[in-house]
Structure formats: C-alpha cells, structure tokens
Amino acid sequence: MTDRPLALSARRVGGMVLRYLYLMRSSWPRVVELVYWPTVQMILWGFISKFLATNSWWVAQTAGVLISGVLLWDILNRGQLGVSLMFFEEMYARNLGHLFVSPLRALELAAALLTMSLLRTLISFTGAALLAIPLYHFSIYTLGLPLVVFFFNLIVTGWAVGLMVAGLVLRFGLGAESLAWVAIFALSPISGIYYPIEVLPGWLQTVAFFIPASHVFEGMRALMIEGVFRSDLFVNAVVLNLAYLGLGLLVFLGAFRAARKHGLLINIGE
C-alpha cells in the first residue's frame, strides 16, 4: 500500500472548511443551535449553583465551580458534535461519492472536521461564558492559562469520540446517527463534572482514571478550590488524549477502507 494516507494538503483541508462555512452561512438554525444549548445549560446550572451556594458548604467554598463544570463539559460535548454532525452533513447530502473521487483523502476530511469542531466550540463556549458574567458575576476567564489547557484537553477527547462515531455511522449507516447524541453522555457520570471522582465506587474510580476528562475536572477543582495547577493530572489527560485521538483516527480511516470494500461511498443512506 503506497497510497500515503497520512499526506495532507492545506488547500484541500481549506476547501472542506469552506464547504462547512458556506453551509453554516446558508442556515441560521445551524448557527443558533451552536449557542442555544450551552446557554440554556449554563443558565440552569447557574441557578442551581446560586441555590447550593447558600445550602452547601462544598459549593459555597468557591464560587462558580458548578458553572465551570457545565461550561467545560460543553467543550467536550460540542467538540464531539462538531465532528459528528459536520460529517453527517456529507451523508445527508449524499456527497461522499463526489468527494472521494476527488483527490481528497480521508485524513484531510478528518482535519477539516476537527477545524470546524474547534470553530463551532469556540463560538458556543465564548457565548455561554460571556453570558455568565452579567448573569452570575462569574467569569471562567479568570482561570487564565489553565483554561486553555482544559479547553484543548476536553476538545481532543470530544474529537476522538466524534471520529469514532463518524466512522461507525459510515460503516453502519445513518440508522446509527443517534450515537452522536448519546455517546458522550456515557462518559459524564465518570468524568467528575459536578463531583469529585472519590465519590465513585473503587472499581468505577479505576474506570474513570482512563477517561481524560476526569483528570481535567479534578484539575479544575484543584485550581478553583486549592489554587494549585496539578501538572500530574495534566500529563495524565494529555497521554490519554493522544491515545484516544489515535484510536479515533484509526476507526475513522478504517471505516473509510471498509466503505470502499463494501461500496458504501456511493450508496450511503439509512
């Protein structure tokens, strides 16, 4: 096999990003959807935080720990949806046949999907985080540089899951698209978004150790409550993310090879 599947062209990646930007420009509901859910979540959890701050010692010791959890969790969620939903657009449009008779490589499509996911997540996160300032007098931006570290670790986890979901849907058809909406939520109970990992049973703590997001949320609480940046948690998250991103890419590229074997790139559908 000398097809050099890892070769990338910035021009072709840019072409696909342009395609998704055209799509978003042509459809205002797609843009509204970006900020709608994170904003609703942030407002809901903002009020819950406000209530708990007066009734819970743990929440009261630092303002914004729950709102931060909501905002950071949404990075992971949006990161995954950004990859999966943009990929589904090609399947809805039945455009994969044209795309893959062009010189576009599957890895270039993946790079375009990740770029769009980054743009979409930045838009949704920034909108919700800015709204939290006037509503709850809380700015997540006060976390400073660690916020950037948390952001990239969470979005990479989202990318890994998004690529796996896209690959599975390519392989098994659009009947499996609901995976996009539910896959990430399987991680939420063991990611320690709203509570420390130590409340989980021992065996589940072991499972949580292998979820990069659990290290990010533990790191977030360490920073907000104890005022320390835990580099051990950071390293754990980075190593796990690299492994999962590699796995996500393997699933995605493997699904394309399977699609070429089974004739799915032209006859894609339900």
CB of residue 92 to other proteins, shortest distance in Å:
9
State which of positions 228-247 bind other proteins (CB under 8 A): none
Q: Please select the residue that binds other proteins; options are 206, 207, 262, 269, rule is CB under 8 A.
A: 262
CB of residue 173 to other proteins, shortest distance in Å:
15
| Span from 76-84, 142-150, 169-177, 257-265 in contact with other proteins (CB under 8 A) | 257-265
Residue 189 to residues 62, 150, 182, 202, Cα–Cα distance (Å): 22, 18, 13, 14
Backbone torsion region of residue 8, taken as left when φ is above 0, otherwise alpha when ψ lies between -120 and 50, otherwise beta: beta
| Span from 44-52, 101-109, 163-171, 187-195 in contact with other proteins (CB under 8 A) | 101-109
Helix (H, G, I), strand (E, B) or coil at 109: helix
| Span from 66-74, 179-187, 203-211, 261-269 in contact with other proteins (CB under 8 A) | 261-269
| Span from 49-57, 127-135, 176-184, 259-267 in contact with other proteins (CB under 8 A) | 259-267
Q: Which is nearer to other proteins, 7 or 145 (CB)?
A: 7
270 in contact with other proteins (CB under 8 A)? no
Let me know how long the chain is.
270
Q: Which residues of 113-145 are buried (b: 16+ CB within 10 A; e: fewer)?
A: bbbbbbbbbbbbbeebbebbeeebebebeebee
State which of positions 5-44 bind other proteins (CB under 8 A): 7, 9, 11-12, 14-16, 18-19, 22-23, 26-27
Q: What are phi and psi of 64, to 5 degrees?
A: 85, 5
CB of residue 163 to other proteins, shortest distance in Å:
21
Concatenating the DSSP letter of every residue in 213-262 gives HHHHHHHHHIIIII----HHHHHHHHHHHHHHHHHHHHHHHHHHHHHHHH
Residue 66 to residues 79, 138, 198, 259, Cα–Cα distance (Å): 20, 11, 17, 43
260 in contact with other proteins (CB under 8 A)? yes
Q: Please select the residue that binds other proteins; options are 52, 135, 179, 265, rule is CB under 8 A.
A: 265
**Binding residues vs other proteins (CB under 8 A):** 1-4, 7, 9, 11-12, 14-16, 18-19, 22-23, 26-27, 89, 93-95, 97-105, 257, 260-263, 265-266
